């Protein structure tokens, strides 16, 4: 397989974040189960860093807020969203960027791999034309040069006969090939950061591994950082440098993958890893219970209702910042955290 062109890049550095998400709260006006319109608190103070050149796995059960975190970062929240906090990328707060300033970042400095490639690709435009448009939107290249770059990236993502596939419509591609095209679109402008939201959902296991191998290889080759959203702990273990565990709109634990697997601190992380080691299918699915109540606004621990260790302090004391400031790379949102 041909390689993407490499660029010079700083070495991977967890302490030098390209993306810093700070205290992000997100709410929507929504109907509660009784039909009253109230604020649904979807994100409750998300704190997350993606270090330069690092691949970070964001894991959590359905509804935890993973996709909303990604959506806020790439500036695609609906206008009805009430959002506060900061999402810092290359010195700018993405939450305050709009219009052309945001377009300059999205698709160029940040590449996005959507969960559903069919929805991400325009059905009536040839894949080559979609790539060329994206390339020319962010680079002063002639149509011919952009076309060549498009063919090169199609080759780099392992599409056989890229000259011919350049002229294909999305529906003419298999699921795996369509996802490769979406990865090509995310990477073609050599972004600093790639965000991939469950990039292998719906693909069979062999194709999943091929797509993730490719994503990892290209992200590394370009010296980019990546945030990979998944509900599969195995993917985190195999492909990521750092991991962040999300529950009810907060990142409850984050740190280097090896460190978190060896010394998980949060009760939820411990359960997750224990379930995964017990090999009882997908750990998250097997331990899922009632979803948290989005209409309850709290600054206290969001896991208290499920936690076997919950103490009186857990129900009321504020817990939006990690309790272990002495461990800058392994942060835990728990009154009982003991890192390092
Ligand atoms: N427009 C909206 N109004 C109300 N709630 C929403 C809206 N969009 C998403 N949500 C809720 O936000 C929560 C987080 O969603 P999401 O980020 O998609 O979760 P995940 O990707 O972790 O499965 C879910 O409970 C979802 O129902
Ligand atoms: S703060 Fe308390 S309730 Fe929350 S996870 Fe820690 S021990 Fe459990
Ligand atoms: Mg999601």
Each residue's pLDDT tens digit, 284-333 = 666 667 778 899 888 999 999 999 999 999 988 999 888 887 788 899 99
- Span 174-228, pLDDT tens digits: 999 999 999 999 999 999 999 999 998 878 888 888 889 989 998 999 899 999 9
pLDDT at position 118: 87
Mean pLDDT along residues 109-128: 92
Q: d(Cα 87, Cα 94) in Å, to the nearest integer?
A: 5
pTM of the model: 0.91
Average pLDDT, the chain: 89
Which residue, by CA, sits nearest to atom 27 of ligand 1? 63
DSSP run (H or E) holding 259: helix 257-262
Q: Is the CB of 92 under 6 A from ligand 2?
A: no
Which residue shows structure tokens 């034309």? 129
In this structure, whether the domain defined by 16-109+191-332 belongs to CATH 3.40.50.300 is answered with yes
Task: Find the 91 Cα to ligand 2 centroid distance in Å.
Answer: 34
Q: d(Cα 23, Cα 87) in Å, to the nearest integer?
A: 9
Instruction: Tell me which of 26, 68, 72, 245 to substitute to probe ligand 1's pocket, judged by most ligand atoms within 8 Å of the beta carbon.
Output: 68
Neighbouring residues of 124: CB distance < 8 A, sequence distance ≥ 6: 169
Neighbouring residues of 232: CB distance < 8 A, sequence distance ≥ 6: 59, 282
Pairing of strands 331-332, 250-256: antiparallel
Q: Is the pLDDT of residue 83 over 90?
A: yes
Which residue shows structure tokens 């992200």? 219
CA angle 314, 317, 323 (to 5 degrees): 80
Better pLDDT: 15 or 333: 333
Q: Which atom from ligand 1 is nearest to the alpha carbon of 60?
A: 22
- Span 37-62, pLDDT tens digits: 999 999 999 999 999 999 999 999 99
Buried (b) or exposed (e) across 116-125, using 16+ Cβ within 10 A?
bbeebbeeee
Q: How many CA atoms lie within 13 A of 236 on its CB side?
A: 27
Instruction: Tell me which of 303, 313, 315, 317 to substitute to probe ligand 2's pocket, judged by most ligand atoms within 8 Å of the beta carbon.
Output: 303
Mean pLDDT along residues 20-43: 94
Ligand having the closest approach to the CA of 66? 1
Q: d(Cα 20, Cα 78) in Å, to the nearest integer?
A: 22
Residue 183 has φ and ψ, to the nearest 5°, of -65, -40
Q: Is the CB of 300 under 6 A from ligand 2?
A: no
Instruction: Tell me which of 245, 332, 334, 339 to substitute to probe ligand 2's pocket, judged by most ligand atoms within 8 Å of the beta carbon.
Output: 334
- Span 220-249, pLDDT tens digits: 998 999 999 998 999 999 999 999 999 999
Q: d(Cα 18, Cα 304) in Å, to the nearest integer?
A: 32
91: left (phi over 0), alpha (psi -120 to 50) or beta: left
CA-wise closest residue to 87 among 61, 42, 50: 50
Q: Is the pLDDT of residue 4 over 60?
A: no
CA angle 50, 321, 14 (to 5 degrees): 20
To 10 degrees, the CA torsion angle through 99, 101, 103, 105? -150
**What Cα–Cα distance (Å) separates residue 339 from each residue in 177, 193, 258?**
43, 29, 14
**pLDDT band, residue 116 (cuts 50/70/90):** confident
Spatial contact of 53 and 225, defined as CB atoms under 8 Å apart:
yes
DSSP run (H or E) holding 266: none
**pLDDT band, residue 283 (cuts 50/70/90):** low
**Ligand 1 neighbours by CB, cut-off 6 Å:** 28, 30, 40, 42, 60, 62-68, 294
Mean pLDDT along residues 96-111: 90
- Span 133-178, pLDDT tens digits: 999 999 999 999 999 999 999 999 989 999 999 999 999 999 999 9
pLDDT at position 25: 97
pLDDT at position 250: 97
Give me the helices (H) in 139-264, please. Answer: 143-156, 162-165, 175-187, 205-221, 233-239, 257-262
**pLDDT band, residue 11 (cuts 50/70/90):** very low
Q: d(Cα 202, Cα 192) in Å, to the nearest integer?
A: 27
């Amino acid at each position: 397989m041909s390689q993407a062109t490499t660029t010079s890049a700083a070495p991977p550095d967890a302490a030098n974040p390209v993306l810093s998400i700070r205290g992000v709260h997100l709410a929507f006006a929504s109907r509660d189960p009784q039909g009253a319109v109230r604020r649904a608190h979807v994100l409750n103070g998300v704190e997350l860093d993606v270090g330069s050149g690092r691949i970070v796995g964001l894991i959590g059960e359905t509804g935890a807020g993973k996709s909303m975190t990604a959506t806020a970062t790439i500036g695609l929240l609906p206008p009805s969203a009430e959002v506060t906090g900061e999402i810092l990328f290359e010195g700018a707060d993405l939450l305050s960027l709009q219009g052309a300033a945001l377009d300059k970042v999205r698709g160029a400095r940040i590449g996005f791999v959507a969960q559903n490639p069919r929805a991400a690709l325009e059905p009536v435009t040839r894949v080559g034309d979609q790539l060329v448009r994206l390339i020319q939107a962010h680079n002063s290249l002639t149509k011919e040069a952009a076309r060549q770059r498009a063919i090169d990236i199609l080759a780099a993502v392992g599409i056989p006969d890229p000259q011919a596939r350049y002229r294909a419509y999305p529906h003419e591609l298999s699921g795996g090939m369509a996802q490769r095209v979406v990865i090509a679109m995310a990477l073609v402008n050599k972004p600093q950061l790639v965000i991939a939201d469950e990039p292998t959902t719906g693909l069979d296991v062999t194709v999943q591994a091929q797509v993730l191998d490719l994503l990892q290889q290209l992200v590394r080759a370009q010296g980019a950082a990546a945030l990979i959203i998944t509900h599969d702990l195995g993917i985190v273990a195999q492909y990521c440098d750092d991991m962040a565990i999300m529950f009810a709109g907060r990142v409850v634990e984050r740190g280097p993958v090896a460190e978190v697997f060896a010394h998980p601190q949060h009760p939820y992380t411990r359960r997750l890893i224990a379930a995964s080691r017990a090999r009882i299918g997908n750990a998250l699915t097997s331990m899922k219970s009632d979803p948290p109540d989005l209409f309850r606004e709290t600054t206290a621990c969001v896991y208290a209702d499920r936690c076997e260790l919950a103490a009186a302090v857990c129900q009321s004391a504020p817990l939006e910042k990690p309790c272990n400031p002495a461990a800058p790379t392994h942060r835990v949102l728990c009154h009982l955290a003991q890192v390092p």
